[in-house]
Amino acid sequence: MTLEQRIARLEALEAIRQLKHRYLNACDLKEVETIRDCFATGPIVVDYEAVGRFEDRDSFVALYQSLACHPRVRDSHHGANPEIELLGEDHARGRWSLAYFNLDAETGATRRLGVMYDDEYHRIDGAWRIVATRSRILSSVLGRDETSSRPA
């Protein structure tokens, strides 16, 4: 492998890491257009188990917006342990673990999830985009934050 190929490989891996982190941060910050831009246009696959399966980014983003974009919904997505494999110059796949925390600030209800993502990425017009993402819930803990809850 030449030096140029090695540098291109490292740049691709870093761009994919940045893409996934941008997506997770946008979910926490409720930045709907940034979330949409992380996915390719046209046919894609978003398969998030209990949340549903989607075949285009707009239907997924619409559901995200209806569920998460409310002042009471507080989320924290922490992606870690990336395993990214370049399958070609413009195609890659990755596996990520996710520690997810959700708080309903009105009721104090909390949820912690341990999740495994399996993603596929394509470089389109020079930018990496998610073309498929699947998640599996590995663990789930429900609770209550008594300091932020109001009486039911």
The pLDDT-based confidence of 152 (bands split at 50, 70, 90) is very low
Please name the residues in contact with 93: beta carbons below 8 A apart, sequence gap of 6 or more.
Answer: 84, 85, 87, 118, 119, 120, 121
The whole-chain average pLDDT of the chain stands at 95
94-103 pLDDT tens trace:
999 999 999 9
- Predicted model pTM: 0.93
pLDDT at 117 over 80: yes
39 bridge partner residues: 130
